[in-house]
Homo-oligomer: A and B are copies of this chain.
Amino acid sequence: MSWDKLTVEQQQQVEHQLSILKRGAAEIVPEEALKMKIMKAVVTGKPLKVKLGLDPSAPDIHIGHTVVLHKLRQFQDLGHEVQLIIGDFTGRIGDPTGKSETRKQLSEEDVKHNAQTYQTQLGKVLDLNKTSFYYNSTWLGELRFDDVLRLAGKVTVARMLERDDFAKRYATNQAIHVHEFFYPLMQGYDSVSLESDIELGGTDQTFNILMGRTLQGAYEMKESQVAILMPLLEGLDGVQKMSKSLRNYIGIDEHPNDIFGKTMSIPDTLMLKYYELTTALPNTEIEELRHGLEAGTIHPRDAKIKLAKGYVKMYHGAIAAEEAEQHFITVFQKRALPDEIEEVSLEGGHLEDGSLSIIRLLVSLSLQASNGEARRSVEQGAVKLNEMKVTDIHAQIKPVDGDILQVGKRKFVKIKLV
């Protein structure tokens, strides 16, 4: 298909789609093929099939995950189709070596339950009417040994050992079990099975997504998929990739006040990146923001409030967004206690002399999940009793009715002895 054969209107449409779809992408491999595919879609009216693979383990989506979801949504808004693949086949197998505790075998019910949660959470960003869900056990579960050998015959060991983590482990004599080679092969075979035109993923998925490209070629599909690789979003610390394990994340199911407060804590320098990658704000408005911030006509705090409010609105609705903003202004900007503090009952009867350690108090009131967490909060100066810091982890407290205990900037309780 040649550019010159397109009408001017078609050419404009292609340019329009590309300007949206390229936004924020770290890499598109190969970029020319993306253009060809979009030209074809525009001319034929046939939507592209855009694939994303999902981990079948318990989903708990944070803003970092929404980077690829927003990209998918852009495809949907431009009329394309989204294929979401739940990797239940892998999940059902668990860890064949039996050595890893983290990769537990998931039951079919686990997988179904998790898929349900995905639908609920992803529906906040995606248009579910234009989204097809697939379980890859549907096709992978049917493969027999000879099919598997044929699949494995498409790739060399050397190519596999080029994958970053394999290369590092092989170089440092850490075990790589042979079955691990099949994870990229399975992901790639999904693309063969669904004839995907495009696969999305973070830059850490480059190897696996390009494997799909290789395998589609090896299985003699006419065209191979294009990889759109999105940057990994830095978390609240502004340095490390946003992740649950690093505790630098904003979960979309978190309390609106937490989403709002956490968003306000991201470094100013990252704000535009967050806008670009994790909101639906049009390119033009992002450019206005950028210019306003550079010219000093927009205060970074206001831009961040807009971002925070946008997140709460997207994930919890407009009313929650207003309330969260109000809460934030009351607590942080007016530096006062919030209007309404939750009253929590504390059984005073079983305290020997009416006192207990600050650690036990924090845990008893469910302000902290564990003794360890409570200790760290105290040590870091995050705990206040009636607006006075408590920094001694051995401090003994004699709570009285109406005491206000605070952890960090956003957690408050009023004690009621019962």
Contacts and interface: CB of A to CB of B under 8 A. Distances in A.
A415 to B, nearest CB: 53
A157 B178 contact: yes
A170 interface: yes
A145 B148 contact: yes
A144 interface: yes
Given A153-B95, A153-B97, A145 B146 contact: no
B157 A176 contact: yes
B92 A146 contact: yes
Interface in A47-84: none
A319 interface: no
Interface in A88-138: 89, 92-93, 95-97
Contacts of A179: 149-153
Contact of A157 (B149, B152, B170): B170
A32 B148 CA distance: 38
A259 B147 CA distance: 44
A388 interface: no
A181 B153 contact: no
Nearest to A181: B178
A140 interface: yes
Contacts of A145: 89, 140-141, 143-144, 147-148
A96 B151 CA distance: 8
Interface string A169-202: 0100101111111100100000000000000000
Contacts of A146: 89, 92-93, 141
Nearest to A157: B176
A21 interface: no
- Number of this chain's copies in the assembly equals 2
A166 to B, nearest CB: 8
A-side interface size class: 35 or more
A344 B92 CA distance: 71
Contacts of A141: 144-146
A177 B214 CA distance: 14
A150 B181 contact: no
Given A93-B149, A96-B150, A144-B141, A181 B158 contact: no
A160 interface: yes
A101 to B, nearest CB: 15
A397 interface: no
Nearest to A166: B157
A156 interface: yes
A41 interface: no
A155 interface: yes
Contacts of A176: 156-158
Nearest to A140: B145
A357 to B, nearest CB: 47
Contact of A158 (B97, B148, B155, B170): B170
Interface in A228-262: none
A174 to B, nearest CB: 9
A156 B175 contact: yes
A156 B144 contact: no
Contacts of A170: 157-158
A371 to B, nearest CB: 38
Contacts of A156: 175-178
Nearest to A183: B149
A-B CB proximity, top 6 nearest = A96-B153, A152-B179, A152-B178, A153-B179, A143-B145, A157-B176
5 contacts: A96-B153, A152-B179, A152-B181, A157-B180, A178-B181
Given A97-B154, A152-B178, A152-B181, 19 more contacts: A89-B145, A93-B150, A96-B154, A141-B144, A144-B145, A148-B148, A149-B182, A151-B179, A152-B177, A152-B179, A152-B182, A153-B179, A156-B176, A157-B160, A157-B170, A158-B175, A160-B178, A178-B181, A178-B185
